[in-house]
Amino acid sequence: MPERLKLYLDQMLQLQVAQTLRNEGHDVMRTSEVGQARADDSEILQKAIVENRILVTLDEHFGDWVVLPLSRHPGVIRLKINPTSSKNAIELLIPFLRLYTSEEFKEHLVILSPKRAKWIFTG
């Protein structure tokens, strides 16, 4: 049985993605559910760290350390999908999340696309 992950979805990911992940058994929080719908990237990352949740985002800034430095965090998964639909996000995320534990994501940025998952240690 896959581990129940604690996830934090940024404002670009729709309710359908959250609901599907919840149906898979994950503990999902969305930025719009906690008053961060218009928060900037650093505030969103800080909330994920405080809540000990893996951040799931479509935002390219999470791969640019000049814009947003990453150090100690529970993990960041940046989806690279085109088009950026809920269906494509779900089809990419669900099988990927089944393979890993929360411990494996710690201090890693994962750039996840349909072709590959690039793991970058950021600690």
pLDDT in tens, 26-84: 999 999 999 998 888 888 988 999 999 999 999 876 655 544 556 778 999 999 999 99
**67-70 contacts: CB < 8 A, separation 24 or more?**
67/41, 68/41, 68/42, 70/45, 70/107, 70/109, 70/122
CB 105 within 8 Å of CB 74: yes
What percent of the chain clears pLDDT 70, i.e. is strictly above it?
91
69 vs 118, residue with greater confidence? 118
Can you tell me the mean pLDDT for 112-119?
A: 96
Residue 57: strand pairing partners:
78
Q: Is residue 1 part of a domain?
A: no
Residue 87 pLDDT greater than 80, yes or no: yes
70 within a domain of the structure (yes/no): yes
Rounded Cα distance, 2 and 116, in Å: 20
How many domains are contained in the chain? 1
Provide the domain limits for residue 80: 6-121
Which pLDDT does position 3 carry in this prediction? 83
For residues 3 and 71, which has the higher predicted lDDT (pLDDT)?
3
Q: Are 110 and 78 in contact (CB under 8 A)?
A: yes
Please name the amino acid found at residue 79. Answer: L
Give the bridge partners for 7, in sequence order.
28, 54
pLDDT score for 123:
77
pTM for the predicted model, two decimal places: 0.92
Question: Tokens 């928060």 sit at which residue?
Answer: 39
Q: What per-residue confidence (pLDDT) applies to 64?
A: 56
**Residue 11 domain flag:** yes
